[in-house]
Structure 1
Amino acid sequence: MIIKNICCIGAGYVGGPTMSVLAEKCPNIIINVVDLNQERVNSWNSNDLNNLPVYEPGLAEIVKNCRNKNLFFSNLIQEKIKEADMVFISVNTPTKKKGLGAGKASDLKWVEACARQVAQYSSGHTIVVEKSTLPVRTAEVIKSILKESKKQNIGEMPLKTFDVLSNPEFLSEGSAIKDLLIPDRVLIGGENNDAINSLCEIYKNWVPEEKILTTNIWSSELAKLTSNAFLAQRISSINSISALCEATGANVKEVARAIGSDSRIGSKFLNTGPGFGGSCFKKDILNLVYLSEFFGLPEVAAFWESVVNLNNWHQNRISKLITKKLFGTLSNKKIVILGFAFKANTNDTRESAAIQICKNLLEEDAYLVIHDSKVAYKQIEVDLEKKVLNSHLTNNDDSKISKGGNWNYTQDLSGIFNDADAVVILTEWDIYKSINWEVVSKFMRSPAWIFDTRSILSPIDIKKSNLNFWQIGDGLL
């Protein structure tokens, strides 16, 4: 089957970038990205490319080149599904908050809704592709819904037929475009070889054939969950060692370099930090825990749940350490937070370590000034569940505010260190590496602290200032 028209349901962090790259590499295919959120659609269509709903290096240029040529964003869901030969389901699958499996299982209501829309609006033969991260055997749900629509093919209406494929994304936020252009692998799971080959032919436009892996549909679904679980496990492992390094006088960078040089282990995902975040790691591990429990494997469930528990402990460890270093109380003390996104080169804050750490500091009655050039203050309000005092903080505003247990927002670094008791680096933005701490120290309230949870600063440079310094995993500081 030659694919000429693709519809992607969901214009979020996966759907938007993925379809943009597909459009660039497959100029002969019409690609429609549809979403119920009109504000999000408007942002994708905005002339201001700095206003795209997803920030990824290189994405704006691709959107500019392809938009309104063979890449379109709209809320015309019914119309675009009907036109499509292939429909990608790329909607959110959050962890359930209530009901069966609450706190661990994925909420598939949006996936089910998409399947029903495809069943209702499609025409002829349609290949349905799971792009969202899904629990194993979700394809059964989709197939069941699509199967029911076949029973409705009566009279002279054209016959509807379907194939279901699993094509999970393996994107690292901050480098998603690179991951799409030069992937480690493309995984396609399915039962019908013709449908699998149709999707393979699309990827062959730019991906070497040996990097396109095909499996059965259940292996493909499980491989995605397992991949994220393994990566998160490495992060929790090195973060646990960072605490041990601090207690024993070792340096986690040196330890990581030593173990990373072992070819059986490798050096990736051995950078310590404030804990893993993003849309997938925690959600996918908890999903794996739920599936293990469901299939009667409590020991497997306990193993993977310990990865999440260690991550939570680590975030709380950092906030407690900050409180301890500042004489055991944060009441009305000004703490500058540098970075709120869960990692650099993205505006995504989902499960960001900054959320829990900042909540803990606010609970201790601290006054926070939060800086992040890519994260909007409205998103931080949602994450912290607390309104900002001033969304456009200036030097003159700071001294006039009732501080304890509140926070302010700024996109300007100048002046925010005045009378600060501490600075906490939570996102590894490059701009923070070039701050002149010797100058900054003159404006902070002594004895002042810098807490580097990302290990991006040079202890030698900090020693030139009058600042106390803590860096994660360094037991000699």
Structure 2
Amino acid sequence: MSVEVKTICCIGAGYVGGPTMAVIADKCKYLKVIVVDLNKDKIDSWNDEDLTKLPVYEPGLKDLIKRCRGKNLFFSTNIQQSIAQSDMVFISVNTPTKKRGLGAGEASDLKYIESSARSIAEFAVGHTIVVEKSTIPVKTAEVIKTILFSSQKGLENKPSKSFTVLSSPEFLAEGTAIDDLINPSRVLIGGESKDSINALVNIYKNWVSEEKIIKTNIWSSELSKLTANAFLAQRISSINSISALCEKTGADISEVAKAVGMDYRIGRHFLKSGPGFGGSCFKKDILNLVYICKLYGLNEVANYWQEVLKINHWQQNRLTNIIVKKLFGTVTNKKIGILGFAFKADTNDTRESPAINICSNLLLEGAKLSIYDPKVKFQEISDSLNDLNNAQDHTIKIKDSIFTASSFEQLANGSDAILILTEWVEFKNIDWVKISKLMRKPSWIFDCRDIIDVNHFGESDLNIWKLGFGSNMDNQK
């Protein structure tokens, strides 16, 4: 029996829900697409006529919103009405790591998933296909099913409703999310109902070739997402561990990565060293994997994946120690410029950004930070650092120790050092000769993203340190 889908609803207007639904609306003009969220300010931002105020920054997103919003794409806080008129409901809400209780520090907190499932159970009309889109632990579908199917009990004298549950995790890289959605490497759909699976397949077939659509059971789909993120994070930790060895031995991490990446069995992707991985998923998903492995008594497997996180944290602490050492063993009351606060270029997302931990470490050492990021505002920076400060029971007065710079010159003026943490393209065009004249001597540049070419520094008297470059041993002036 074919299932006709005319209206879809997405619960959650964040980094996944907003862009995903915008692409679906653009590619499926026949569908009515509604994105709902309890956060009125967020929905107001999605509806703002000024497209620069969208809550999510992604290249290409503004154009999609401009084409579709108000036509077949809508943003609303009316969850009840939106669910009631929808044939398919996506759950795309946050699944943060639990801070307390059973599994604290590792397991995902499913309170928003549960709340969404209860809303669907209460407000859905007729048959509804429910699609897990959030990054979730294996067996979450059981939670959703239990809530949905238990709601059907005692409905003998009420309008009938029924549900099927699918898992279709997102595989998006922030900064390239729109292209990842339009040209996906694969679309994964897990479930038990062939009719419901085909209904979702028929949506994607409007722009995705069918050979890229993978159909699995629901548990394989859920585990595939966790595993994909764990493997990617593992590659980053692996190359970062080698970057430290390069610095000690005189090797060049970019040359090592190129040589290794040309092996077809390994490939070149995710072999660029840096200050560590960030974003909303990598750390959370590995912690989830660790928790699940422990739950099933696979302690050796849990320990293996835990080491990926340890290397990531170690890399950030290592960078802090190098900076302090180069600045005569102390950064107290020294001004340090921070170039980039987002966890990667082309996004305004700061969740789990390496910059948070590194900046926090420098603040603990007594530094004053001047921060420039083209897409991250002061309040977001302040909130991120305050959250970590409070979580670690530190008493730093964040707002007294940081300020945002509006230009490279303002950031450099009087700085003892500049630290490059995000690979924004505009950082490649900085006039370092001009910058060197504004800094306090001996001026240090710490390049953690392989942004700068030391051959282009001309007459500057800057000291350069580049992550993963053995030439650090003899480049001091």
- TM-score class, shorter: over 0.9
Root-mean-square deviation over aligned CA pairs: 1.4
In structure 1, C-alpha distance between the alignment counterparts of 2:450 and 2:362, rounded to whole Å: 20
In structure 2, C-alpha distance between the alignment counterparts of 1:293 and 1:433, rounded to whole Å: 45
Give the one of 426, 430, 436 matched to 1:435. Answer: 430
Letter in 2 for 1:409: T
Q: Residues 403 and 132 of structure 1: is their aligned pair in 2 closer, same or farther, counting only changes over 3 Å?
A: closer
**Worse-matched range after superposition: 456-465 or 321-330:** 456-465
Letter in 2 for 1:301: A
Q: Is the 8 A contact 1:228 1:280 kept in 2?
A: yes
Q: What secondary structure sits across from 1:40 in the alignment?
A: helix
Alignment of 1:108-127 (within 5 A): 108-127=110-129
Alignment of 1:205-224 (within 5 A): 205-224=206-225
1:421 — aligned with what? Answer: 416
**Alpha-carbon shift at residue 410 of structure 1 (Å):** 2.4
- Residues 315-358 of structure 1 deviation map (CA, whole Å, 9 limit, x = unaligned): 00001110000000001111010000000000000000000000
Q: What secondary structure sits across from 1:80 in the alignment?
A: helix
Letter in 1 for 2:408: L
2:226 — aligned with what? Answer: 225
Q: Is the 8 A contact 2:371 2:411 kept in 1?
A: no
1:37 — aligned with what? Answer: 39
Q: Is the 8 A contact 2:385 2:398 kept in 1?
A: no
2:359 — aligned with what? Answer: 358
Q: Is the 8 A contact 2:382 2:399 kept in 1?
A: no
Q: Is the 8 A contact 1:149 1:160 kept in 2?
A: no
Question: Alignment length, in residue pairs?
Answer: 462
In structure 2, C-alpha distance between the alignment counterparts of 1:67 and 1:101, rounded to whole Å: 41
- Residues 246-289 of structure 1 deviation map (CA, whole Å, 9 limit, x = unaligned): 01000000000000000000000000010000000000000000
Q: Residues 167 and 386 of structure 1: is their aligned pair in 2 closer, same or farther, counting only changes over 3 Å?
A: closer
Q: Is the 8 A contact 1:366 1:404 kept in 2?
A: no
In structure 1, C-alpha distance between the alignment counterparts of 2:399 and 2:86, rounded to whole Å: 55
**Alpha-carbon shift at residue 418 of structure 1 (Å):** 1.2
* Structure 2: tracts of 5 or more residues without a match: 389-396, 473-477
In structure 1, C-alpha distance between the alignment counterparts of 2:11 and 2:335, rounded to whole Å: 44
Q: Is the 8 A contact 1:365 1:405 kept in 2?
A: no
**Alpha-carbon shift at residue 405 of structure 1 (Å):** 7.1
Give the one of 57, 67, 70 matched to 2:69. Answer: 67
2:182 — aligned with what? Answer: 181
* Structure 1: tracts of 5 or more residues without a match: 388-401
TM-score of the pair, normalised by structure 2: 0.95
TM-score of the pair, normalised by structure 1: 0.95
- Residues 422-466 of structure 1 deviation map (CA, whole Å, 9 limit, x = unaligned): 000011111111001011111111101000000111011135410
Give the one of 83, 87, 90 matched to 1:88. Answer: 90
Letter in 1 for 2:437: K
**Alpha-carbon shift at residue 386 of structure 1 (Å):** 8.0
Q: What secondary structure sits across from 1:150 in the alignment?
A: coil
Q: Is the 8 A contact 2:409 2:438 kept in 1?
A: no
In structure 1, C-alpha distance between the alignment counterparts of 2:45 and 2:457, rounded to whole Å: 41
Give the one of 382, 386, 402 matched to 1:407. Answer: 402
Letter in 1 for 2:401: N
Q: Is the 8 A contact 1:367 1:403 kept in 2?
A: no
2:105 — aligned with what? Answer: 103
Q: Is the 8 A contact 2:247 2:470 kept in 1?
A: yes
Give the one of 139, 150, 155 matched to 2:141. Answer: 139
Percent pairwise identity: 61
- Residues 295-320 of structure 1 deviation map (CA, whole Å, 9 limit, x = unaligned): 11000000000000110000000011
- Residues 139-195 of structure 1 deviation map (CA, whole Å, 9 limit, x = unaligned): 00000001111113121x221100000000000000000000000000000001000
Letter in 2 for 1:224: K
Q: Residues 386 and 177 of structure 1: is their aligned pair in 2 closer, same or farther, counting only changes over 3 Å?
A: closer
Letter in 1 for 2:200: L
1:449 — aligned with what? Answer: 444
Q: What secondary structure sits across from 2:403 in the alignment?
A: strand
**Alpha-carbon shift at residue 404 of structure 1 (Å):** 11
Letter in 1 for 2:62: A
Q: Is the 8 A contact 1:343 1:428 kept in 2?
A: yes
Q: What secondary structure sits across from 2:411 in the alignment?
A: coil
Letter in 2 for 1:459: V
**Alpha-carbon shift at residue 116 of structure 1 (Å):** 0.3
In structure 2, C-alpha distance between the alignment counterparts of 1:236 and 1:464, rounded to whole Å: 36
